[in-house]
Amino acid sequence: MSNRELISKVTDYVDINLLDDIHIEDLLSISNYKLSQFYIIFNHVTGQTPKEYIRNRRLSLSCYDLLFSKLSILDIAIKYKFSSQEAYTRAFSKLFNINPGKFRKSNITKGITKKNEGDKIMEYKFPSEKILSNVEKVGFCVEEGKMPENITFPSCLASVMRYLGEDFPKIPQTQSIPFIANYAYIHFLGVTGMAYSMLWRDGWHLDNVDYMFIENPLEIIKKAFDSIGYDYKVLVKDEDEASKQYYTQEIIKSINRNVPVLAFGVVGQSDCCIITGYDNMGDELIGWSFYQDDPKYNDDLNYTVEGYFQKSNWYDKTKSIIIVGEKNNHFNRSLVTKDILLWAIKVMETKSIYGRNSGINAIESWKDHLLNENYFTKVDDEILERMFLSHTLATLMFAESRYYGSLFLQSIASQDIKFENELTEASFYCNKIHNLVYKMWGICNIELSEDNKKIFKNQETREKFAEILDEAKQLDIKTLNIFKQIVK
């Protein structure tokens, strides 16, 4: 077993036990390394010390508590094993460049629902189990011929909207082989700004792809639901039995309205999944998750005949849920083109957010990292592998977001005749960025191998990448300028 595989077993253990005390002896036992050897190899593979990795993972998870729970900051600090609120605040501020109080306050928005003291639990008569059949499966690559969907929230929302009968087409795409593009997913990438976003944290990290944090996450949720004219509510969470009962009640009520529920967490990481049913009066939840087939996360899962996961003890792993409400109007895309583009402009021009370089500035930071010889001088294999994976993930997200952004702009160009030429031109630029990423893959394949790592490390290769990213950045700037011209 390679060093990366051994350290992956360690980080899997850490991720599962973040709310518990984690002892170095347990990590050593999993890895079979001696202490000094373990620290060196862990740092090479992850770019962090074990203590930093554990702290940063806890801080990342705590963002969801700040957004979606009524816990005080002190209670959140204690939950994630910080010695005091002050220690938690210092660590949070250092990682995200904003203190937890301001983070929570700046993200307050419409749609948040709290359980009132007067709310009565389970006064309704519902069946003890119910499953909504034929909800479209979600996942990174769920079937041959379907284009990839790597961002969980828009993918899950797209599946729910199709189930509810919203008329989003499936669009054939002819590349080297035929593909089918899911326009519902494309739509949500476009209206949330994810189609024109980019993230890059200084250093070579594997968390540059969490596009829920390109801006205020609750605002992203709001943009998505407003764009299709649906009411919704995001339920906050308390660490008590009444809150669990309230969550369970709201899920059961929604399923019995024949409306799936969106949830963050439940299976795997804190990403979005779909709840399509329940069993044993909500003690077990049923649905689709991007992680349900991953051996890291599925050892406590059962599966229905249809393939849905079935999970008990779900509440502790759940960060929040979104209840989809009634449709309140018919979305007229031509009326809000300027609003969509104003938001895209904000996303593209934001230089940093939550500790990451953002927008067009992130492309420049990515390029600078590729050209910085200090990263590549005397680099060992584990660090090089992490750098290669960080770069590869960035290329995948860059290509996917801009390609779908191109299709989204084509769609609104066909319905907004006034700006058809400008939007078509911007669509061309986005598609050209997608093709430039393919050019990068032609220089160095994205498959993790010793040969590809050597190609990636080569200075000439990285200089070619930098030239391509410069060209892509200029295309993004041209797209941005067109957006600005339209919204004048």
How far is it, in rounded angstroms, from Cα 196 to Cα 404?
A: 9
284 and 323 within one domain: yes
Cα dihedral across residues 301, 213, 456, 404: positive or negative:
positive
pLDDT at 280 over 80: yes
Query: Could you tell me the residue range of the domain that residue 44 belongs to?
Result: 3-106
Residues 357, 360, 361: CA angle, nearest 5 degrees: 40
Using alpha carbons, select from 58, 137, 111, 375 the residue that is nearest to residue 236.
111
364 and 468 within one domain: yes
364 and 274 within one domain: no
How far is it, in rounded angstroms, from Cα 188 to Cα 173?
A: 19
pLDDT at 453 over 90: yes
| pLDDT at residue 126 in the model | 85
The overall average pLDDT reported for the chain is 88
Q: What is the dihedral of CA 369, 372, 375, 377, to 10 degrees?
A: 150
pLDDT at 479 over 90: yes
CATH of the domain at 21: 1.10.10.60
| pLDDT at residue 175 in the model | 55
251 and 118 within one domain: yes
CB atoms < 10 A from the CB of 383, how many?
A: 18
Using alpha carbons, select from 418, 484, 383 the residue that is nearest to residue 43.
383
189 found inside a domain:
no
pTM of the model: 0.82
Domain boundary among 327, 344, 375: 327
Which bin fits 342, alpha (ψ -120 to 50), beta or left (φ > 0)?
alpha
Q: Is residue 405 helix, strand or coil?
A: helix
| 128-137, 166-175, 234-243, 297-306, range with the lowest pLDDT | 166-175
345 found inside a domain:
yes
| pLDDT at residue 46 in the model | 84
How far is it, in rounded angstroms, from Cα 20 to Cα 92?
A: 19
Reported confidence tier of residue 110, pLDDT bands at 50, 70, 90: very low
Residues 307, 185, 157: CA angle, nearest 5 degrees: 60
Backbone dihedral angles phi then psi of residue 291, each to the nearest 5 degrees = -110, 5
Using alpha carbons, select from 3, 14, 12 the residue that is nearest to residue 38.
3
Do the Cβ atoms of 272 and 262 come closer than 8 Å? yes
How far is it, in rounded angstroms, from Cα 210 to Cα 317?
A: 18
How far is it, in rounded angstroms, from Cα 281 to Cα 247?
A: 12
pLDDT at 335 over 80: no
How far is it, in rounded angstroms, from Cα 382 to Cα 10?
A: 15
How far is it, in rounded angstroms, from Cα 241 to Cα 264?
A: 19
How far is it, in rounded angstroms, from Cα 316 to Cα 293?
A: 20
How far is it, in rounded angstroms, from Cα 245 to Cα 237?
A: 11
The model's pLDDT over 13-29, given as tens digits with 9 standing for 90+, comes to: 887 788 889 999 999 99
441 and 350 within one domain: yes
**Beta strands 261-265 and 318-327: pairing type?**
antiparallel
Helix (H) or strand (E) holding 170: strand 170-174
267 and 118 within one domain: yes
Q: What is the DSSP-derived secondary structure letter of residue 165?
A: T
Map tokens 């899911």 to a residue: 182
Q: What is the DSSP-derived secondary structure letter of residue 148?
A: P
| pLDDT at residue 158 in the model | 96
**Could you tell me the two tokens for 146?**
């379907």
313 and 229 within one domain: yes
Give the residue-averaged pLDDT of 334-338: 69
Do the Cβ atoms of 354 and 97 come closer than 8 Å? yes
The model's pLDDT over 308-320, given as tens digits with 9 standing for 90+, comes to: 999 999 998 898 9
166 found inside a domain:
no
**Beta strands 230-235 and 112-113: pairing type?**
parallel
Give the residue-averaged pLDDT of 98-109: 75
| pLDDT at residue 174 in the model | 57
Percent of the chain whose predicted confidence (pLDDT) is above 90: 58
Domain boundary among 68, 88, 106: 106
Do the Cβ atoms of 270 and 264 come closer than 8 Å? yes
The model's pLDDT over 27-75, given as tens digits with 9 standing for 90+, comes to: 999 988 888 889 888 888 888 899 998 998 888 878 877 876 778 899 9
81 found inside a domain:
yes
341 and 446 within one domain: yes
35: Cβ contacts below 8 Å, ≥ 6 apart: 24, 28
pLDDT at 121 over 90: no
Task: Name the β-bridge partners of 199.
Answer: 358
pLDDT at 94 over 80: yes
Reported confidence tier of residue 464, pLDDT bands at 50, 70, 90: very high
Inter-CA distances, 41 with 2, 29, 30, 448, Å: 11, 15, 14, 19
The model's pLDDT over 173-229, given as tens digits with 9 standing for 90+, comes to: 655 556 778 899 999 999 999 999 999 999 898 887 788 888 889 999 999 999 999
156 found inside a domain:
no
476 and 348 within one domain: yes
321 and 408 within one domain: no
For the chain, the domain total comes to 3
199 found inside a domain:
no
299 and 389 within one domain: no
How far is it, in rounded angstroms, from Cα 351 to Cα 371?
A: 20
Reported confidence tier of residue 95, pLDDT bands at 50, 70, 90: confident
Task: Name the β-bridge partners of 286.
Answer: 277, 310
Domain boundary among 306, 327, 348: 327
Do the Cβ atoms of 430 and 406 come closer than 8 Å? yes
174 found inside a domain:
no
458 and 367 within one domain: yes
136: Cβ contacts below 8 Å, ≥ 6 apart: 159, 162, 163
Residues 246, 130, 282: CA angle, nearest 5 degrees: 30
Do the Cβ atoms of 447 and 222 come closer than 8 Å? no
407 found inside a domain:
yes
